[in-house]
Amino acid sequence: MGGFSPASAAQRCAVGIHTSPSSPVSRSRSRRQQQPAPPVRRRRLAAPLAVSRRSLLVPRAVAASTDRASPEAVGRFNLESNSELQVTVNAAPQGAIAEINFEATNTSGSLVLHWGALRPDRGEWLLPSRRPDGTTTFKNQALRTPFVKSGDNSTLRVEIDDPAVQAIEFLLFDEARNKWFKNNGQNFLIQLPTSRNQGQGASGATVVPEDLVQIQSYLRWERNGKQSYTSDQEKVEYEAARAELTDELNRGVPLEKLRARLTKTPESSERDAPAAKTTATKELEKRVSKHEKKKKYSVERIQRKNRDITQLLNKIKPGVTKEQVQAAPKQPTVLDLFTKSLQEGDDCDVLSRKLFKIGDKEILAIATKALGKTRVHLATNDVEPLILHWALAKKAGEWEAPPLSIAPSGSTLLDKACETSFVESELDGLQYQVVEIELDDDGYKGMPFVLRHGETWIKNNDSDFYLDFKTKVTKKAKVIDTGDAGKGTAKAFLERIADLEEDAQRSFMHRFNIAADLVDQARDAGLLGIVGLFVWIRFMSTRQLIWNKNYNVKPREISKAQDRFTDDLENMYKSYPQYREILRMILSAVGRGGEGDVGQRIRDEILVIQRNNDCKGGMMEEWHQKLHNNTSPDDVVICQAIIDYIKSDFDISVYWDTLNKNGINKERLLSYDRAIHSEPKFRSDQKEGLLRDLGNYMRSLKAVHSGADLESAIATCMGYKSEGEGFMVGVQINPVKGLSSGFPELLQFVLDHVEDKSAEPLLEGLLEARVELRPLLIESSERLKDLIFLDIALDSTFRTAVERSYEELNDAAPEKIMYFIGLVLENLALSTDDNEDILYCLKGWNQAMEMVKQKDDQWALYAKACLDRTRLALASKGEQYYNMMQPSAEYLGSLLNVDEWAVDIFTEEIIRGGSAATLSALLNRFDPVLRNVAHLGSWQVISPVEVTGYVVVVDKLLSVQNKSYDKPTILMAKSVKGEEEIPDGVVGVITPDMPDVLSHVSVRARNCKVLFATCFDPNTLSELQGHEGKVFSFKTTSADVTYREITESELMQSSSANAQAGEAIASLSLVKKKFLGKYAISAEDFTDEMVGAKSRNIAYLKGKVPSWVGIPTSVAIPFGTFEKVLSDDTNKEVAQNIQMLKGRLAQDDFSALGEMRKTVLDLTAPTQLVTELKEKMLSSGMPWPGDESDQRWEQAWMAIKKVWASKWNERAYFSTRKVKLDHDYLSMSVLVQEIVNADYAFVIHTTNPSSGDSSEIYAEVVKGLGETLVGAYPGRAMSFVCKKDDLDSPKVLGYPSKPIGLFIKRSIIFRSDSNGEDLEGYAGAGLYDRLVNFFHETQFTHMIKNSFSITAKECACFSVPMDEEDQVVLDYTTDALITDSGFRSSILSSIARAGHAIEELYGSPQDVEGVVKDGKIYVVQTRPQM
């Protein structure tokens, strides 16, 4: 501790003086409150924990005297720019009435004083009985007095006649404007002149003003050498200071003289200067303030431990295995076959379906409607003779004998029932028994029944079976066996859940016991099974499923079932770390359950509360009956609503407000089996006891029902004890073992600051607590479940605190916003199973903050890359959640008849409730700040073209890439990945996405003279999207876009400007290539008759580029080789299949494309091909794969075939059709190169493609292999420009945000090289460059797979390495290209020099691809830049 703190001493003596300007109710988080609630003084309830609650704080807004020339103390406060509040206090004689006069200038006529008085012997605001006219009481906690309007000003006088009152505290409220005025975010505080009581309190004891005690204690601390005191020593020193001053007053020293001595100001009789404070006074206050500030940062914040961030790394990836998704379907049971036979009938609708367990057998009850008739079918796989004892019901619980006319033949009518024997039957050799009943009256609601075997009655768990006729038609009945329903889910498991839902609805005890029974089945179904279990529990927790239906269950039975279920989840958490993220979600939706018989206390304590507080009737009795019948999470809300109602001085609207904000309305209260009809109604003398008892009762409720309640989670881990009383059981929870020695103090810090307005210290404390917990969560710790619930609660509290901080960040410096982003990222990493990318994002933000401290002028540009990468990580997480959860939500929702709206937003609500949504909001706030600092503007122009056209909004460019527009169209595409085609008729594409400037779609846009630009301003995008269907003109510069609406006549006039934009490339022709007798050739034989331009350019560069530029060794498999291999006798069947598939393509059956690629892979290599290729590779110095093993040759041969097969990839096929090329004339050679295991890869355009500046080179660089640059991998590459006359001065335009790098060991790569590469105006399109990101499946491959039933791998076969690349999550903070400016300048200059040299060699702008290895530049490809 850094010394004695007068501030903390003042806190101790001013017990209870605590305000919370944002809310009168602790922890209220509602955003729907129309009027901000005023700050009020309130008494703190004792927390039910073994640790103490928050320390109480003293507001520091004290009005100091500014005019000592008169006998009045004066305070002035600025309200707004032209408005001021002046407060004067009369120095009344001893015992007289004190007057406080308020005058507010330039105000409206609706100003109100919200106020209370302060006495040292009271913890709450005192509400004086002497009040100005018009004063009202606000919730029995504050007074509200209206000002009197006088001209432009408003005035008010308040009189205080209680000599013990030392100050008044207040705020101002402008009712007309719904606006509060505060004193720098705190309450105003006016001290009354001490001459009124001369140091005497109400009881006659000497009272020393606390501000003087504070100064005296500070002076003592200085005199004692500014020692470091413990908390107890501080208390002793503070009271010693009080005793010294009390002694002086008792000896007759006037208070004014004492004040003058301590503050170094003249006494009132000597004052004639206008200044209120002397230099000495100001100096003293400065010293005290400085000490308080030092104290704040040493005591009011925890000291976080220095850790390596990577210690938080989790690399567990919850994957869905092929076996899990494509598990063999279970053999249909006889009851499945029976259901199917019913549904195959004409016009048969299933009204309801219920499957009941009877021992190890089942009985299926189905109500159908066919041809206007309602029928009931009961079938069972029990082959023992059975009798159905049944009736009909027009209301719940009724047994009514059916009319004789509808009783099946052989039935026996009884008084209120009918008995019918089951009839034996058979389906597919499986035996079963059935009863069928046709009804003649739609007025029946359902059918109750039981079974009889001889004299043995068979019931449904001691209850009647019941089939409800009026249940909505389930989607399951409609989609069963179609093949699409339940795709991407653990379908059989979800159907099992649906079959058990009827039983689960009886009570929470039944639901949790059923859930426990299903845990093993969920685990066996893999990730999708765990997800299915979570979806079911989530539907339950959000009240989409029935919680209780006519079943009385004791609270301890619920908590026991809860314990059983959560224990099973805990065991799975220990054994299956890949499922922990989802298991945490399940646990947070379930609640803890009751240890130590805490569940029984729910039942017992309510009786004690009623007895002790004389409230045995009305609403409390109705709630008591509900609690005894079936307690639920709603009871936590009801208890809080009652507490809020009592605290508000019995304002019933507060009760309903709390209920409604938490999803409970009057209809829900009435829907309980033990309905709550009445409203709470208590007497004032019951207030204190009820608040005490209900506060304690809330602990029991939260212990069972709340999975994310911080106080109960801490109490459970730290331990607590509740004594029994009479019949009420006692509870003792022991502390969790293994916690670090300082952990209780850390949790105490969190509790002490959980409501602080400034959330930063709290966030640090919460994160420190989570990091301290992490080792115990990873290990199989004792009472792991309690630790998980504590971690969930800390996480939930963190998110709430961040949301509370948004206002604080409005005007914050960039460093503070980045710090907050780092905190939220760390919290997200602690809740994520596979968090490597998130942790590297966090390291990036930390590095950006270091760059700010070092005044690095590149910090904003680098931070922008960190922001973009973080957004990608969040988008990837959201997509993962959607793909993992939404199919299960949709299928199970259809089975359980969950409201469609709840199903549609299921995954969205999961994401919105997590740290990812909080982080996204922070990034959105910070993005424009960074763009402004980095001078990035709101646009990035990728293809600068002036265009006019009709605005059309689309979700994805991919979804319209093959569409043709019949008029000039400017697309507002919400998603562009980088590998799409530009549709015919499109003259412009505007998107918020950021594809690389050198991506396929970017190159295609420039080739086709199409405007292509990224807009970073969401307001501009929204505005443009709002103009859908209108005609707009767009003009561009290299960094900006201007636009305006025009008329259609103007569009016609400007149509010539669009003549070239968006049109397909002019019709081209290909010359069919022939096989010239060689299966393989070396580089010196590369001619246009043998290979494409890609191969020829590489051969041309050899020996002509500077010696410091490396050219990889190459051989080729020439044109015509594919056709030659196909004609070989060994491939006769393959050739026939390909010919058949070509016929289907001619009929526009595009599904044949995928089959064509698969068929090519069946080719067998002729012996001559193997021999010649081996010879050429070895003679060129390349390794021969077959020398390693036959398997290695097979890998190489498969790669060659995949290159040939890429001729029939969708994008290439449709591109050739678009430009009217004869696809049969497209020939494919294969360029064979040894892979350079690259540190970096680059693409150069020797003329800046964005600006068209031929004096400037533009290049992009990625870490690892170049596939992440030319393929559709997410994120941006590093980009830079370099003037050709100053190649030593590259200028970085953007830092990389790509999260993935590809690396490979020494290997061979096979590249497509078609005669299409030779076409002028088409070579730059990258027609057969590698297309698809293997790791992050794109929307393109998703569409292709859905349409053509092929895999992502099969789409991606244009440059095929023999070996798989290693996909590495990139940490740019350890990359010298980012962190070492000298290294960066050297590498980028070398890349620019290589591009410039190749341009000079060809004499025209070039599109160059290459890699960097150990600082050396290698060029692997060049072609004319388009």
Active site residues: 1000
Pairs from 725-728 (Cβ < 8 Å, separation ≥ 24): 725/608, 726/608, 727/604, 727/607, 728/601, 728/604, 728/605, 728/607, 728/608
Report how far apart the first and last C-alpha atoms of the chain are (Å, whole number).
Answer: 69
Which residues, 6+ apart, have CB-to-CB distance to 1092 below 8 Å?
Answer: 1119, 1229, 1313, 1314, 1315, 1316, 1317, 1318
* Contact status, residue 704 vs residue 559, Cβ threshold 8 Å: yes
* Contact status, residue 167 vs residue 117, Cβ threshold 8 Å: yes
- Angle of helix 598-613 relative to helix 618-630, nearest 10 degrees, comes to 170
Say which residue the tokens 């031929």 belong to.
1254
CA distance 1269 to 1266: 5
Q: Read off φ and ψ for residue 92, nearest 5 degrees.
A: -70, 155
Q: Which helix (H) or strand (E) holds 1278?
A: strand 1278-1283
Structure tokens at 345: 């009938």
* Contact status, residue 94 vs residue 198, Cβ threshold 8 Å: yes
CA distance 566 to 952: 52
Structure tokens at 918: 């909080």
The conformational region for residue 106 under phi > 0 = left, psi -120 to 50 = alpha, else beta, is left
Q: How many residues does the chain have?
A: 1426
Write a three-state SS string for 470-516.
CCCCCHHHHHCCCCCCCCCCCHHHHHHHHHHHHHHCCCHHHHHHHHH
Say which residue the tokens 């393989």 belong to.
1080
- Angle of helix 634-647 relative to helix 618-630, nearest 10 degrees, comes to 160
Q: CA 671, 448, 373: angle at the middle one, nearest 5?
A: 100
What are the Cα distances from residue 1, in Å, to 13, 90, 128? 20, 42, 40
Q: Which residues pair with 146 in a beta bridge?
A: 112
State the amino acid at position 828 in one-letter form: L
DSSP 403-470: PGGGSPTT-EE-SS-EEEE-EEEEETTEEEEEEEEEES-TT--EEEEEEEETTEEE-BTTB-EEEETT
What are the Cα distances from residue 675, in Å, to 65, 604, 632? 60, 20, 13
Which residues, 6+ apart, have CB-to-CB distance to 1215 below 8 Å?
Answer: 981, 1325, 1327
CA distance 588 to 510: 19
Torsion of CA 512, 514, 517, 520, to 10 degrees: -80
Q: Which helix (H) or strand (E) holds 1001?
A: helix 1000-1007
CA distance 10 to 209: 10
CA distance 1099 to 1078: 18
What are the Cα distances from residue 700, in Å, to 48, 611, 703, 805, 1210? 10, 18, 5, 31, 62
CA atoms within 13 A on the CB side of 282: 6
Structure tokens at 1019: 């307001």
Grouping H, G, I as helix, E, B as strand and the rest as coil, residue 1157 is: helix
CA distance 923 to 873: 12
949 CA to centre of own chain? 38
